[in-house]
Amino acid sequence: MKRHHVALLAAALSISLLAGACGRSSSEGANGNTNTTSAADAKCKGATLEATEIGVSASEITVEVMADTGSSLAPGLFQGNVDAMNGYAKYVNANGGVGCRQLKVIAWDSKLSPEESKNGIINACKNALAMVGGNSLFNPDVAVLGNCVDKAGQPAGLPDFVALANDINEQCAPNSWVIQAVAETCPADGKPPTGPRDLKSYVGFLKYLQSQQSDLKGIWLVPGDLPTTVQSATYQIQANRQVGIDVVDAFKTSGSLQQAGFTPFVQTLKDSKSNYVYNGSNDANMIKMRKETAAQGYDGVKIWACSLACYTEKFKAEGATVDNTYVWTQFLPFEEADSNASLKAYIDSVGGKPDSFGMQAWQAGMLFKATIDKIVAADGPNGITRTSTISTMKTITDFTAGGTMGPKSAKGFSDCMVVLKINGGKFTRVTGKPGEFTCEPSNVITIANFDPAAEAGKVH
């Protein structure tokens, strides 16, 4: 939870109260099933290993993690993804490896650049079996994911086990399995949908906030540095309105916006007598918004809400400045590491300094291993190819990453959450029981006939 996050996407959505506890024990294994892992381990004994694919030698499996880490706009933005994948490799290698081999991780800095994102996919095509644990916000050209050639020179495609895909092109790519969430209903051919269409949005968090303050009225802070992040915010703003929250205005923010730039936002709160602020941007912008609101002497805000971008050490360090801010996650809180062995393994692997986006990368690593275990159990350790990886990853549904997340499929939405509230520099769970989630199908709603690109042009 350590890095400074840019004016972040709004792919960190929202959820409600209890319908059933979805938490699972990590003793179930990477996909809630130790049987597949045991069968894979048995196939390793006495096997003569071969180099079966690009990125698969007799001794190693190489994967690439691509993330925005070196942009001047937000240095170190998603370094947590890289740290998590390096930690996962050390962890898994110390516990028998993957596919009867050691796991090797190479990193690519996509720099918040579409060109570097494309180059990163090309690099993975040349050097790795798959992409795992990535987080590149501006990634519109994913053609290589579909036509990357295999060891035999045939266009097999490149598997993409992505932690978070904000760009619709990567979300809907046929070879991508997204840990976060996919709001789109992706066409079977993988082409990104355009124009008015139905989207999904997570509203359980909003329903919880309404249970604390029934007449919510306020503003939405939109991550404004990239067109993809603005678009992904639009249907979440509409979701607020659809559940009965009065969003009087939405404002673009930037990673470079100084505190004085938040004055007009506070003035809108005053003029409208608002009691609600939702920050879909980064932790730094929420801190500035809180400070400027206090400086302007406005105390009418009763509900401060933020995506998982505020679930950071930096945010906690602000102390009383950010007290009573609500955040929500779709993974178990770091404070509950003792309740889940997979969660604890992640935290230990990064030296006790976890990161929200790094957690999703760790889960992507677990998904990759679950896929490879399934291949080895069925076809042996020399059955690992890009083709078998792609076909097998698509069969994995209800994935829980050892109980660290609610059940989810490749292009789906988990309807499970944990809501936290910060006070005195500590995040405290306010929904459900430790080690479990609150889950309800009605937490995910449809935003009908909605065009994010057109709506993005209306945000100022």
Instruction: Write down the pLDDT at residue 413.
Output: 87
* Alpha carbon distance 142, 123 (integer Å): 13
pLDDT tens per residue across span 226-256: 888 999 999 999 999 999 999 999 999 988 8
CB neighbour class for 405 (10 Å; exposed up to 12, middle 13-18, buried from 19): buried
Question: How many other β-carbons are positioned within 10 Å of the β-carbon of residue 337?
Answer: 18
Strand partners, 427: 422
Question: Is 170 in contact with 139 (CB distance < 8 Å)?
Answer: yes
Return the C-alpha torsion angle 157, 162, 164, 167, nearest 10. -10
25-181+337-393 belongs to which homologous superfamily? Response regulator (3.40.50.2300)
One-letter identity of residue 245: I
Residue ranges, comma separated, of all CATH 3.40.50.2300 domains in the chain are 25-181+337-393, 199-329+415-456
Got the DSSP string for 205-274? HHHHHHHH-TT-EEEEEEE-SSHHHHHHHHHHHHHHHHTT-EEEEEEEE-TT--GGGGHHHHHHHHHHT-
Chain centroid to CA 225: how far?
18
The residue among 302 and 10 whose pLDDT is bigger is 302
CA distance 272 to 178: 39
Q: Is a pLDDT exceeding 50 seen at residue 308?
A: yes
* Side-chain-side CA neighbours of residue 122 (13 Å): 8
Out of 1.10.10.10, 3.40.50.2300, 3.30.499.10, 3.40.50.880, select the CATH number for domain 199-329+415-456. 3.40.50.2300
Q: Give the pLDDT of residue 33.
A: 54
pLDDT higher at 30 or 378 = 378
Say if residue 18's pLDDT is above 50. Answer: no
Show the tokens assigned to 142: 């994913």
- Band (pLDDT 50/70/90 cuts) for residue 34 is low
Question: Alpha-carbon distance 75 to 244, whole Å?
Answer: 38
Distance of CA 165 to the CA centre of its chain: 7
| Mean pLDDT, residues 86-102 | 97
3-state class (DSSP) for residue 60:
strand
Mean of all residue pLDDT scores within the chain: 91
Kind and range of the H or E run holding 87: helix 79-93
Confidence category of residue 121, pLDDT binned at 50, 70, 90: very high
Q: What is the mean pLDDT of residues 426-433?
A: 96
Please write the tens of the pLDDT for every residue from 371-419: 999 999 999 999 999 999 999 999 999 999 999 999 999 998 899 999 9
DSSP string, 93-153: HTTT-BTTBEEEEEEEE-TT-HHHHHHHHHHHHHH-SEEES-B-S-----HHHHH-B-TTS
In whole angstroms, how far apart are CA 421 and each of 91, 310, 323, 425? 31, 11, 8, 10
Q: What is the pLDDT of residues 147-177, one digit of tens each?
A: 999 999 999 999 999 999 989 999 999 999 9
Q: What is the mean pLDDT of residues 271-284?
A: 96
- DSSP label of 459: -
**Over 80: is that where the pLDDT of 361 sits?**
yes
Of all residues in the chain, the percent with pLDDT exceeding 70 is 93
The b/e string for 23-48 (b: 16+ C-beta within 10 A; e otherwise) is: bbebeebbbbeeebbeebeebbeeee
pTM of the model: 0.91
**Count of C-beta atoms within a 10 Å radius of residue 50:** 12
Predicted confidence (pLDDT) at residue 428 exceeds the cutoff of 70: yes
Arithmetic mean of pLDDT, 113-140: 97
**Do the Cβ atoms of 142 and 169 come closer than 8 Å?**
yes
